[in-house]
A and B are shown apart, each in its own frame.
Chain A
Amino acid sequence: MSSIWEYANPKKFIDTTDRILPWISVLAVVCLVVGLVWGFFFTPDDFRQGSTVKIIYLHVPSALMAINAWLMMLVTSIIWIVRRHHVSALAARAAAPVGVVMTLIALATGAIWGQPMWGTWWAWDPRLTSFLILFLFYLGYIALWEAIENDDTAADLTSILCLVGSVFALLSRYAVNFWNQGLHQGASLSLDKEENVHDVFYYPLLVSIAGFVLLFIALVFLRTQTEIRARRMRALMARERMG
């Protein structure tokens, strides 16, 4: 184990992830079950929001992962541009659909939570709007991957799109904040704030966040393996055709 870049070799990556994938998957399921069951059945109702608050155990982790998935794509895209490791580009490709689903879960649970709380399914609140824009960025990114036949070209173009998109996503976030100050409560999680969520809610939330993180890692590993194999298959077929 001399350097992290060893894992940029597809074979090494598949071998390693094959070994740790079962563990991560089991751990992800355990964390999710514990976190969600604990959160849903063994916490008191909130004194203001009643039992609706419990959707937080899906809403907050998925929202976090929606952003983290994009950040991961950004990092792997930069690694591809700088060091040209194919596994990195394929990992970015693998993470995008997972990120989209996380964004959708965050939006859907947000709407379901917003209905009883704010009396509306949707409001053009800065946070909600930012997530909608993030969703559009994900769609464009995935569509570009699908549209290009040559794998290296696709990796290059999507990486640059990811870089440019990140800058504009950040810009949109500030623009939207400026455009409409919203209804959304402030971040419920931070380490130093006084008005943090009460411990009773806090610990199950941490467990379910850990579950979502592990689930994301497991899915990305699995999908990256699939992408590597698909890529290898296309290379084999191209070689066959060249005869």
Chain B
Amino acid sequence: MTVTVTDLSVARGGVRVLEGVSFDLAPGAALVLRGPNGIGKTTLLRTIAGLQPPLSGQVEAAPDSLVYAGHADGIKPTLSVRENLSFWAQVFGKKDISAAVEAFDLGALIDRPGGLLSAGQKRRLGLARLLVTGRAVWVLDEPTVSLDVDAVAMFARVVRAHLAAGGSALLATHIDLGLGEAEVLDVAPFRAAKMDMDDFDEAFL
């Protein structure tokens, strides 16, 4: 279940931001995207997740193998932790949420409504969603925002277990997760070249 990205160009707000991005993500591997703010990491991840079409290039992945987690966790404030998790499990055709609850230490919070969770707890719940989906390729945008040191270690353990089980992960993050085996891809060199000002094609790009 290798994800292959070939010569991908992506645009944000009608402006080409990255071009010529190519990489392979094999089972068991993790790839960390780095680059300055605004370079287009989020846009790249959203394109790979299929939320927006690429300008050019291809993303090849087995159908139904990706799961995406963005900046927002999609937690409903009026539903309990259990209800939030079960909902996503059902959407992905799964039932069991106990492994996810245990991995992110949510047992004590299981009946608390989502609205009463702290930012870090919400993030943990959002990341626990990845486990209940049963998908092999995780596409994660800044997964460690608002996590404390312990929770980051917890997350790194979960990712490592996921990789060991044959999964893979594509992450955009600034902090060091302590995933020694992860490759790092700096996207700064892929920044789209500024085109000649008179050179408008039909698509105004």
Binding site for B on A (CB under 8 A): 8-11, 84-87, 150-152, 231-232, 235-236, 238-239, 242
Contact = CB atoms under 8 A, between A and B. Distances in A.
Question: Chain B interface mostly helix, strand, loop or mixed?
Answer: loop
Contacts of A239: 15, 194-195, 197
B15 A232 contact: no
B188 to A, nearest CB: 14
A232 B200 contact: yes
B204 A150 contact: no
B63 interface: no
Contacts of B13: 150, 238
Contacts of B15: 235, 238-239, 242
Please indicate which of the listed interface residues B17, B202, B205 has the most CB atoms of chain A within 10 Å of its own CB.
B202
B14 interface: yes
Question: Chain A interface mostly helix, strand, loop or mixed?
Answer: helix
A231 B201 CA distance: 12
B72 interface: no
B203 interface: yes
Contacts of A231: 204
Contact of A235 (B17, B194, B205): B205
23 contacts: A8-B202, A9-B202, A10-B200, A10-B204, A85-B202, A86-B202, A87-B202, A151-B204, A152-B14, A232-B204, A235-B14, A235-B15, A235-B204, A236-B197, A238-B13, A238-B14, A238-B15, A239-B194, A239-B195, A239-B197, A242-B15, A242-B17, A242-B194
Given A235-B14, A239-B15, A86 B200 contact: no
Please indicate which of the listed interface residues B14, B200, B203, B204 has the most CB atoms of chain A within 10 Å of its own CB.
B204
Contacts of B194: 239, 242
Contact size class for B? Answer: 10 to 19
A231 to B, nearest CB: 6
Interface string B9-35: 000011101000000000000000000
Given A84-B203, A232-B204, A235-B200, 9 more contacts: A10-B200, A85-B202, A86-B202, A150-B13, A151-B204, A238-B13, A238-B15, A239-B15, A242-B17
Given A236-B197, A239-B194, A10 B202 contact: yes
A103 to B, nearest CB: 30
For the complex of A and B, the 3 pairs showing the least CB-CB separation, nearest first, are A235-B204, A238-B15, A242-B15
Nearest to B12: A242
Contacts of A242: 15, 17, 194
Contacts of A86: 202-204
A87 B17 CA distance: 24
A231 B195 CA distance: 17
Contacts of B203: 84, 86
B190 to A, nearest CB: 14
B17 A151 contact: no
A237 to B, nearest CB: 10
